[in-house]
Chains A and B, each alone.
Chain A
């Protein structure tokens, strides 16, 4: 979570609010932030650290692991209408890459801004070529995009 905190300014620039969630209590979050995270990230964690004590939130998001009694690593991108645009769930031993979340947010924001007139192809990076969605594109993707 400190990796996200480290890039927090970028999320803010993109107009993204961050919420982290684990089954730890808000009191444990406080001590973790004070004792450890604030030593990795200047000023400590800048977003709300949510407590999901009974795993009930994790359950509706499909990330609660009954055997371990924890919320698995799950990342959800939710748009301003409250629609889940993306989700990624990993088992605990592998960490996420914040860069990929930022890339996806930029892509979803572009699609939203163009009201779906543009889509981002596989491997798209911000600033890269987008696909202009429409009948003209059918069978012609090869002209504008290659793997």
Chain B
């Protein structure tokens, strides 16, 4: 699920989980493409992304769609070393 690999910058794949990424190659960062990015809404598929992560002492690559079949709690927060 979490492979040890460098992945550059975190980025949405432009697709939702379980669907092939929209149009362009997954390996290319999506830069201001005219294709509208998928947006999140309840009842809809989660926008997929691939990003670098720190996990138990290792640097890994995380891809949301690898978690299909499991419940996921996805938590955004403003920053490390903040207080709340």
Q: Which residues of A contact B (CB under 8 A)?
A: 1, 4, 11, 14-33, 36, 44, 46-54, 56-63, 65, 68, 70-87, 92-96, 101, 105, 109
CA–CA, A59 and B47, complex, Å: 10
Chain B contact residues, CB within 8 Å of chain A: 1-2, 9-12, 16-18, 30, 37-47, 49, 51-57, 59-60, 62, 64-65, 67-82, 84
In the bound complex, residues from chain A placing their C-beta under 8 Å from that of B73 are 4, 11, 16-19, 75-78, 101, 105
Q: Given the complex, which residues of A lie within 8 Å of B81, measured CB to CB?
A: 32, 36
When the two chains form the complex, which single residue of A30, A54, A87 contacts B10, counting CB atoms closer than 8 Å? A54
Q: Are A1 and B71 in contact (CB under 8 A)?
A: no
Q: Is the beta-carbon distance between B75 and A75 smaller than 8 angstroms?
A: yes
Contacting residue for A71 out of B2, B43, B70, B77, CB 8 A: B77
Contacts of B2 in A (CB 8 A): 48
A102 to B60, CA, bound (A): 27
A56 to B71, CA, bound (A): 23
Kindly list 18 other residue pairs between chains A and B, CB separation below 8 angstroms, not including A18-B72, A60-B40, A78-B46. A4-B75, A19-B53, A19-B64, A19-B74, A21-B74, A22-B76, A31-B80, A48-B60, A49-B55, A50-B62, A51-B52, A51-B53, A52-B76, A62-B40, A71-B76, A73-B77, A76-B46, A83-B43
Q: CB distance B10 to A51 under 8 Å?
A: yes
Residues of A contacting B: mostly: mixed
Other-chain residue from A32, A57, A75, A105 in contact with B11 (beta carbon distance below 8 A) = A57
Taking a contact as CB atoms closer than 8 A, the residue among A20, A22, A77, A93 that contacts B71 in the complex is A77
Can you show 21 pairs from A to B with CB atoms below 8 A apart? A17-B71, A19-B72, A19-B75, A21-B77, A26-B54, A29-B80, A50-B62, A53-B10, A57-B12, A60-B38, A61-B47, A61-B74, A71-B76, A76-B72, A77-B72, A77-B74, A78-B64, A80-B68, A80-B71, A84-B42, A101-B73
